[in-house]
Structures are given as structure tokens and as C-alpha cells.
A and B are shown apart, each in its own frame.
Chain A
Amino acid sequence: QKEVEQNSGPLSVPEGAIASLNCTYSDRVSQSFFWYRQYSGKSPELIMSIYSNGDKEDGRFTAQLNKASQYVSLLIRDSQPSDSATYLCAVNRSAYKLSFGAGTTVTVRA
């Protein structure tokens, strides 16, 4: 079982729609969860961090965490063409290390 699994892509959504990205993790003791965005040919950039169960909103992005289900998600509301990228879910493990999912590629159609 992979440490971090993301829903397979690619995900294509029309402009203005909601993009929903899912991630599950295997280590029940994980405490920190992150979403990174990576544009083609660029390095990952942090867009959201979440540590407690529930929702966390930042602009058009909402992260949701359910530790009991070992599940974390990212919603992108009012999707824009500039949101077209690969989204990486990352989960902490030991000694500040992160495990990354394979990523979900999102394409927003104008």
C-alpha cells in the first residue's frame, strides 16, 4: 500500500466549476497535511496546509481533513485556467519528512 494515494487524473473541469481532489494516507499517526501546486516545468509551491479535522478555507481553495478516515481533500472553487497544474498531496511522517502522492493533473477548460 502506498503511503499517500491520490485520485487518478487527469481531471478536466470547465472554467467556473469546482475541482475536487482527493487523497488518502496510510500512517494513522500523521499530523500535518499539505497541498502543493506544480506547474509544468516548475517546482512545487505550497497552497494549503491543514492540521485539524474539518475545513480550512483560503480564497478559492478549501482543504478538508478527516483523520478517522485518513482522508484529505482539496476543493478549488470558481476554477480558472490559471489553476491548470498538477496538485500534490503531502503527508508528514517521521522527523519532519513528507511523503508525496503521485499527483492529480487538473485542466481547466475556458
Chain B
Amino acid sequence: ETGVTQTPRHLVMGMTNKKSLKCEQHLGHNAMYWYKQSAKKPLELMFVYNFKEQTENNSVPSRFSPECPNSSHLFLHLHTLQPEDSALYLCASSQNRAEAFFGQGTRLTVV
């Protein structure tokens, strides 16, 4: 039990599909994050939410749509993705600007 749970762990989707990634944190934190981890590249911050309000959108394409209904849940809605979007998507949470706690990630493959 890491405190941050991501589902599904693995996802294969076609370029015309619509799918969603889910993240739930049980730590009482106020901030939640989506990161993208591609091979041979540093982790890329995608979105940040603080108390359900989006505070950071790091120039992410609109085919990625985040949703944060409350401080414990974060979703990433996916549609019309490209093969280069295949990556490990990591969710994290933190209490203010303290250390981030990560989930185990969703391995996404776009075919």
C-alpha cells in the first residue's frame, strides 16, 4: 500500500479510443500531479492540482484532459492519442510543497 493508487496498471488503446486513468491518494494531501515518463527522457510534469484547482498545465496537448473532482481523486482522460504518447504515466500527491509520493504508474501503449 503506497498511499497513492493508480488504475489500471497497464492499458493498451487504439488511436481512436477514449480511456481514462485514475489516481486516488489516501494521504490527506492537498496537491496532486500527473507526470509522463518516457524512455531515456526525464520525468515530464503534465498537470498540477491544488485543492481541486489546476495550478499548472505544462503545455500538454488537448488530447490529454485532467479532472480533479476532489483532493483525493485525479483522472486523466485520453482521446485520439498518438503512438508517441506511449509511456508510463505517474500520479503523485504532496502536502503543500513537501515531498511528492508516487503511485506505481500506468503503463500506456497506444497502437
Tell whether A and B belong to one assembly: no
Show the binding face of B for A, using Cβ within 8 Å.
Answer: none
